[in-house]
Amino acid sequence: MSYKCMYYVNVYLAVDINFSSLLSALLFLFRLAMMSKLELKEDRMLEVQFVGDDDVLNHILDREAGAKLKKERTQLLVNTKKIIKKPEYDLEEDDQEVLKDQNYVEVLGRDIQESLKNGSAADGGNKVYSFQNRKHSEKMAKLASELAKTPRKNVSLSLKNDPEIINIPQCSKGHSASDNVQLKNNDKSEFLSTAPSGLKKRLIVPRSHSDSESEYSTSNSEDDDGVAQENEEDTNEVILNQKIPSQNRAVSAPVCKETPSKKMKRDKTSDLVEEYFEAHSSSKVLTSDRTLQKLKRAKLDQQTLRNLLSKVSPSFSAELKQLSQQYEQLFHKWMLQLRLGFNIVLYGLGSKRDLLERFRTTVLQDSIHVVINGFFPGISVKSILNSITEEVLNHMGTFRSVLDQLDWIVNKFKEDSSLELFLLIHNLDSQMLRGDKSQQIIGQLSSLRNIYLIASIDHLNAPLMWDHAKQSLYNWLWYETTTYSPYTEETSYENSLLVKQSGSLPLSSLIHVLRSLTPNARGIFRLLIKYQLDNLDNPSYIGLSFQDFYQQCREAFLVNSDLTLRAQLTEFRDHKLIRTKKGTDGVEYLLIPVDNGTLRDFLEREEEES
């Protein structure tokens, strides 16, 4: 059940949009689950307690305040008492929450039922947005004002779940301080090199951020540092046991950025205003610098991904089956409504491909129908129309334009009323079909009396594709079919972010195109590839300038004049093999818009052959 993972993603999206932090969060939660399991080993029961967004945020994001203010350790020691007091008080509340949230499975089931029965249009809003509600909002406000008044106090508050200080304050003293200084310097220089033009304010935030970031990465990204790992686990335990309310952190973090002396000068109101804006702007600036490259685990390709996923047995399969059986009962109704001039659109979470496929096999066997995979990356309206004209209507001609073709089809269907056609479109809202023109054409098709359309949409903003005119063309009846089944087929076309692009398609097309060229042209292209691969590590590489390229080609006896090279390049450009870009100095730069792995493979093949 991949949807469970979504929560993590959601949490991180709400906080910090970076994959590596997402991954580390996943690991963190996983470890958390492990740990609590250890604790409760006696009764062999796992109890996950609710961890608020911001607790997790803490884990991922910096402890900027902590790192920054460690120097003022004296204050901290004074305030330890307070630190320990507060968490206890919060613990009770969280326990209640856990109680409330038990029997979640039943609730889940009921939710589905409910959303099935009522369109959930009216009462949905409340439920939906409760996601963002914070339960202790009043307390938060109180806390915020408190913090604003006494800038010193927050020092202690924000530090309170730093385990090193609470548990072993003495031993961490010297060690972590020196550590910190060193790291800070490192990061500073690093940051300055990457973003030299940053504003001062901007500099402050990421730096303090990456401070703790690097402090953490030793333990978190599994750098086999045993001691650090222990520390880390301590942290988790502390978080888990004390249940430090996340809200404190969220508030205290921005406050801490202010230096106390600055604050004294301002009066209270402007202070609050400032605080507000900082609290709201800070989320934008704070991004973690962890990347997938730092991760040990490599990108998976589609095949291994599929293999791995097939090992996971789907949960709640009985419930899901029940759900889909409910939808299957609607098949005849759908047919009726289709025949009466409505078109049907299915929406809701989960792949609706299997459902439509079952619809097709149960009721459409005896009629002509076309299945269109909207998620197929190469789909286009043209290909849809072609398959209608060529395969359904057996027409062997060509058309001047798509509109002509549409007119022809429309006339054909209007003339012959005995002709009937069912269109099944999976993902009508896919990248390729969501364009205005495509939708217009499909809408016009579907408005015909003897063409019946049943389609599915998945994208959150899919209904925005249709204005009133299109909606009246489509004449939709909406059906919510939340299936919760994974989008296996829909996401299998190697267009996902994290899937390694195997690149077999571009590679083969590259080879095909180049085979049709003259040996000289191939040589020219190889030169460009080599140059591009040589400059792999150069981040400021923008391409090979035309003059340099010409020089190189001349030296290799590939061209004899400026013009021949240009002619060659035009041919490349027509095949979309190269892209030209004007540099800042006005010179033309040439670039191959294919990823480097593919290019390397290509070169290897070429060498093998020759």
Partner 1 sequence: MATSSVSKGCFVFKPNFKKRKISVPVEDYFNKGKNESEDSKLRFETYQLIWQQMKSETERLQEELNKNLFDSLIEFLRKSYSGFQKSSRDWGCQIKLREIPTAALILGVNVTDHDLTFRSLTEALQNNVSPYVVSLQAKDCPDMKHFLQKLVSQLMMDCCVDEETKEGSIQVAQKKTHCSMDSLSSWYTNVTRKTDPKMPRKKRTSSSQWQSPPVVLILKDMESFTTKVLQDFIIISSQHLHEFPLILIFGIATSPIIIHRLLPHAVSSLLCIELFQSLSCKEHLTTVLDKLLLTTQFPFKLSEKVLQILTNIFLYHDFSIQNFIKGLQLSLLEHFYSQPLSVLCCNLPEAKRRINFLSDNQCENIRRLPSFRRYVEKQASEKQVALLTNERFLKEEIQSLLENLHVYHSNYFLVLRCLHQFTSSLPKYPLGRQIRELYCTCLEKNIWDSEEYVSALQLLRMLAKDELMTILQKCFKIFKSTSEKQLGSTAKRIEEFLAQFQNLDEAKEEEDTSGSLSKGLQKTDLYHLQKSLLEMKELRRTNKKQTRFEVLREKVVNFIDSLVREYLLPPETQPLHEVVYFTAGHTLREHLNAAPRIALHTALNNPYYYLKAFATVVTAAEKMDADSATSEERNEIIHARFIRAVSELELLGFIKPTKQKTDHVARLTWGGC
CA-to-CA dists, residue 392 to 379, 385, 396, angstroms: 18, 10, 11
Beta bridge mates, 479: 346
Options 174, 378, 397, 586; binder of partner 1; rule CB under 8 A: 378
Kindly state the smallest distance separating residue 586's Cβ from partner 1, in Å: 24
Pairwise CA distance, residues 262 & 259, whole Å: 6
Options 84, 469, 533, 536; binder of partner 1; rule CB under 8 A: 469
Tokens of 273: 């205003």
Binding segment toward partner 1, per CB under 8 A, in 208-216, 470-478, 522-530, 544-552: 470-478
Nearer to partner 1, 343 or 598 (CB): 343
Kindly state the smallest distance separating residue 85's Cβ from partner 1, in Å: 27
- Are 25 and 12 within 8 A, CB to CB? yes
DSSP H or E stretch at residue 412 = helix 402-415
Binding segment toward partner 1, per CB under 8 A, in 60-68, 463-471, 540-548, 595-603: 463-471
Options 285, 305, 402, 603; binder of partner 1; rule CB under 8 A: 305
Please enumerate in sequence order all residues whose Cβ is within 8 A of that of 115, keeping only pairs 6 or more positions apart, or say none. Answer: 124, 480, 482
Tell me, what DSSP letter sits at residue 463?
Answer: G
- Are 400 and 382 within 8 A, CB to CB? no
Binding segment toward partner 1, per CB under 8 A, in 64-72, 181-189, 340-348, 578-586: 340-348
Contact letters (x/-) for partner 1, 9-48, by CB under 8 A?
xxx-xx--xxxx-xx--x--xx--x---x--------x-x
Q: Does 564 bind partner 1 (CB under 8 A)?
A: no
Kindly state the smallest distance separating residue 380's Cβ from partner 1, in Å: 8
Pairwise CA distance, residues 320 & 318, whole Å: 5
Binding segment toward partner 1, per CB under 8 A, in 144-152, 247-255, 343-351, 555-563: 343-351
Amino acid (1-letter code) at residue 534: D
Options 79, 282, 387, 520; binder of partner 1; rule CB under 8 A: 387
Kindly state the smallest distance separating residue 522's Cβ from partner 1, in Å: 27
Options 462, 514, 527, 542; binder of partner 1; rule CB under 8 A: 462
Let me know the angle formed at the C-alpha of 527 by 525 and 529, rounded to the nearest 5 degrees.
70
Nearer to partner 1, 271 or 458 (CB): 458
Options 41, 200, 265, 297; binder of partner 1; rule CB under 8 A: 297
Binding segment toward partner 1, per CB under 8 A, in 140-148, 311-319, 556-564, 596-604: 311-319
Q: Tell the residue number behind the tokens 């197929």, with chain if given.
A: 376
Nearer to partner 1, 334 or 525 (CB): 334
Residues 212-271 that bind partner 1 (CB under 8 A): none
Binding segment toward partner 1, per CB under 8 A, in 133-141, 166-174, 478-486, 523-531: 478-486
Options 78, 309, 533, 567; binder of partner 1; rule CB under 8 A: 309
Kindly state the smallest distance separating residue 364's Cβ from partner 1, in Å: 8
Binding segment toward partner 1, per CB under 8 A, in 231-239, 357-365, 519-527, 544-552: 357-365
Binding segment toward partner 1, per CB under 8 A, in 213-221, 227-235, 318-326, 485-493: 485-493
What number of chain residues touch partner 1 (CB under 8 A)? 131
Nearer to partner 1, 177 or 505 (CB): 505
Kindly state the smallest distance separating residue 133's Cβ from partner 1, in Å: 12
Residues 80-139 that bind partner 1 (CB under 8 A): 101, 104, 107-108, 111, 115, 117-122, 124-125, 127-128, 130-132
Nearer to partner 1, 179 or 420 (CB): 420
Q: Does 292 bind partner 1 (CB under 8 A)?
A: yes
DSSP for 503-553 reads: -HHHHHHHHHHHHTS-HHHHHHHHHHHHHHHHTTT-TT---EEHHHHHHHH
- Please, what is the end-to-end C-alpha distance for the chain in angstroms? 50
Q: Does 498 bind partner 1 (CB under 8 A)?
A: yes
CA-to-CA dists, residue 170 to 77, 79, 182, 403, angstroms: 11, 15, 20, 79
Tell me, what DSSP letter sits at residue 193?
Answer: H
Nearer to partner 1, 8 or 531 (CB): 8
Binding segment toward partner 1, per CB under 8 A, in 2-10, 204-212, 244-252, 528-536: 2-10
Kindly state the smallest distance separating residue 262's Cβ from partner 1, in Å: 30
Kindly state the smallest distance separating residue 227's Cβ from partner 1, in Å: 21
In 3D space, the residue among 68, 59, 90, 13 whose CA is nearest the CA of residue 255 turns out to be 68
Residues 400-429 that bind partner 1 (CB under 8 A): 403, 420
Q: Does 373 bind partner 1 (CB under 8 A)?
A: yes
Kindly state the smallest distance separating residue 336's Cβ from partner 1, in Å: 4
Q: Does 318 bind partner 1 (CB under 8 A)?
A: no
Tokens of 604: 């290897």
The Cα diameter of the chain in Å comes to: 91
Beta bridge mates, 157: none
Kindly state the smallest distance separating residue 37's Cβ from partner 1, in Å: 6
Pairwise CA distance, residues 250 & 455, whole Å: 44
HEC-encoded secondary structure of 264-330: HHCCHHHHHHHHHHHHHHHHHHCCCCCCHHHCCCCCEEHHHHHHHHHHCCCCCHHHHHHHHHHHHCC
Pairwise CA distance, residues 609 & 592, whole Å: 22
Kindly state the smallest distance separating residue 339's Cβ from partner 1, in Å: 4
DSSP H or E stretch at residue 64 = helix 64-69
Integer Rg of the chain from CA: 31
Tell me, what DSSP letter sits at residue 6?
Answer: H
Q: Could you tell me how many helices (H) and strands (E) the chain has, helices first?
A: 29, 10
Tokens of 120: 């959930």
Nearer to partner 1, 89 or 104 (CB): 104
Nearer to partner 1, 26 or 507 (CB): 26
- Are 437 and 381 within 8 A, CB to CB? yes
Please enumerate in sequence order all residues whose Cβ is within 8 A of that of 128, keeping only pairs 6 or more positions apart, or say none. Answer: none
